[in-house]
């Protein structure tokens, strides 16, 4: 994917072959506002249109003036100073919509969190397929203490990742937790000693995903996400239709033809991604 158009934007993107690295580095504390939402919308469109990108890593090297590592410190509330209630409500619905789109981007998305991830920072992690926490990272949902609630996935989606009790604990108390507790409850899946180790592990996973059929990977992700909330009969039917999509688009035949090379870790000459639209 051509990332030159992002050079002047608030999101720093670097292409590494089939991997795209998104390094958050803007504002005082990587706070998320309207400018970043517009760029995330464009990023999702680019990922959907260009199947050369197979994996995305989100991370940050940002530090506060005091040297505290920051992933995303929260939403950009200062831009809302002159907004009325309707503008605030519309904006938060937009946030929720954009993060929902990013959650379904047809690539393997890994977060490497090496700092403070509060509010929007914790909610952003829910858009990722896999999450790695570095020593010193901190997670939390302080919104109820500010007279609101987590409005970009923290209320509607977090429970599915960490369970009902832990979601209620985090959202109702605002308690901050570190990497070990985040890993224990399932907010993150792995821990790393430092950012370098975390990025190395993320690149390892991204490389494995990049060897697979982009059509099969995207169909798998879409079907797994869509299965949430469905009964067994509909989940099974969705799986069958996604599998048949891989057969009908020639992915299965390519896999059989290059089976020996794939077993040796050499991959196969996969064609461009053919999107899976389960409702069609």
Identify the pLDDT of residue 2: 72
Identify the pLDDT of residue 183: 98
- Paired strand residues for 19: 16, 55
- For residue 92, give the nearest of 82, 77, 105, 78 by alpha carbon: 77
Confidence band for 27, pLDDT divided at 50, 70 and 90: confident
Asked if pLDDT for residue 74 goes beyond 70, the answer is yes
The model's pTM is 0.94
**Planar angle of CA 23, 28, 31, nearest 5 degrees:** 65
Identify the pLDDT of residue 28: 82
Over the chain, what is the mean pLDDT? 92
- For residue 118, give the nearest of 100, 99, 137 by alpha carbon: 137
Domains of the chain, first to last: 4-209 (3.90.226.10), 212-263 (1.10.12)
Identify the pLDDT of residue 6: 63
pLDDT single digits (tens) 130-182: 999 999 999 999 999 999 999 999 999 999 999 999 999 999 999 999 999 99
Identify the pLDDT of residue 64: 85
């Amino acid at each position: 994917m051509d990332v030159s158009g992002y050079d002047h934007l608030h999101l720093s993107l670097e292409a590494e072959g089939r991997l795209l690295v998104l390094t958050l580095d803007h504002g005082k504390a990587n706070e998320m506002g309207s400018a970043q939402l517009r760029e995330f919308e464009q990023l999702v469109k680019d990922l959907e249109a260009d199947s050369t990108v197979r994996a995305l890593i989100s991370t940050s090297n940002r530090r506060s003036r005091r040297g505290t590592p920051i992933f995303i410190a929260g939403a950009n509330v200062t831009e809302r100073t002159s907004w009325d209630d309707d503008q605030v409500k519309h904006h938060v619905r937009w946030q929720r919509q954009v993060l929902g789109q990013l959650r379904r981007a047809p690539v393997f998305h890994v977060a490497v969190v090496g700092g403070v991830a509060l509010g929007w920072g914790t909610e952003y992690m829910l858009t990722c397929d896999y999450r790695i926490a570095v020593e010193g990272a901190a997670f939390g949902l302080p919104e109820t203490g500010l007279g609101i609630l987590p409005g970009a996935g923290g209320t509607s989606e977090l429970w599915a990742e960490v369970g009902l009790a832990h979601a209620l604990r985090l959202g109702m108390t605002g308690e901050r937790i570190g990497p070990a507790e985040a890993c224990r409850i399932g907010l993150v899946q792995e821990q790393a000693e430092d950012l370098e180790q975390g990025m190395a592990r993320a690149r390892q996973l991204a490389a494995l995903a990049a060897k697979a059929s982009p059509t099969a990977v995207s169909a798998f992700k879409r079907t797994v996400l869509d299965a949430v909330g469905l009964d067994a009969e509909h989940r099974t039917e969705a799986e069958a239709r996604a599998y048949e999509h891989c057969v009908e688009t020639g992915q299965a035949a390519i896999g059989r033809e290059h089976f020996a090379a794939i077993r040796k870790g050499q991959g196969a000459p996969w064609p461009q991604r053919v999107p899976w639209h389960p409702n069609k």
